Amino acid sequence: MGVTAIKQIRNTTPAEVLVRSREAKKTVTLPPFQGVGVDIWIPWCNSLDDLRNGHVLEIYQIFELIGIRVYFYIWQKDKQVSFSTDGSWSKNGTCVPINCATGGERLLTIGANGDAFTFEIRNLP
C-alpha cells in the first residue's frame, strides 16, 4: 500500500470542472480543455463514515440554478483506488478506470462521453 498522488489534472471537456480534496481542504478549478500541475493525495477511506467525514476526492461542477453536482467520489482502501457516482461506499469498491493500484504519481483526466462525465487515472511517466 502506498500514497496515491495526483500530480496533474487534465480537463478535456467543454465545461469548467472542479476537483476537491475535502480532507486537505483544497479545490482545483479547471477551465474547459485545460490542464494543471497539482499535489493532491487520494484520501484513505475505510468506511461510509470516513467518506461522509471528507476522506474523499470529488469531481464536480457548480451550476448557477441547481448548485453543486458531484460526478465522482474517489478514495483508496487497501491496495485499490475506488470510486462511486452517488456518494455510496462499498467494502470492495469499484476500481477506477485505467489504473486502480495504490501508490505512485498519477495523471487524472476528466472527459466526456456524450452528456456524461468520465475520468481515468494513469501513471505518470
Q: Is the pLDDT of residue 1 over 80?
A: no
Instruction: Look up the domain containing 54 and give its range.
Output: 4-123
Q: Convert the pLDDT of each residue in 34-60 to its tens digit.
A: 999 999 999 999 998 998 899 999 999
CA angle (88, 7, 14) in 5-degree steps? 70
Query: Among the residues of 13-92, which ranges form H helices?
Result: 48-52
Judge whether 23 and 55 are in contact, CB under 8 Å: yes
Q: Convert the pLDDT of each residue in 108-118 to its tens digit.
A: 999 988 778 88
The confidence score (pLDDT) of residue 65 equals: 63
pTM of whole model > 0.85? yes
Query: Total domain count for the chain?
Result: 1
Q: Is 66 left (phi over 0), alpha (psi -120 to 50) or beta?
A: alpha
CA 62 to chain centre: 16
How confident is the model over 55-81, as a mean pLDDT?
A: 85
Q: Is the pLDDT of residue 64 over 70?
A: no
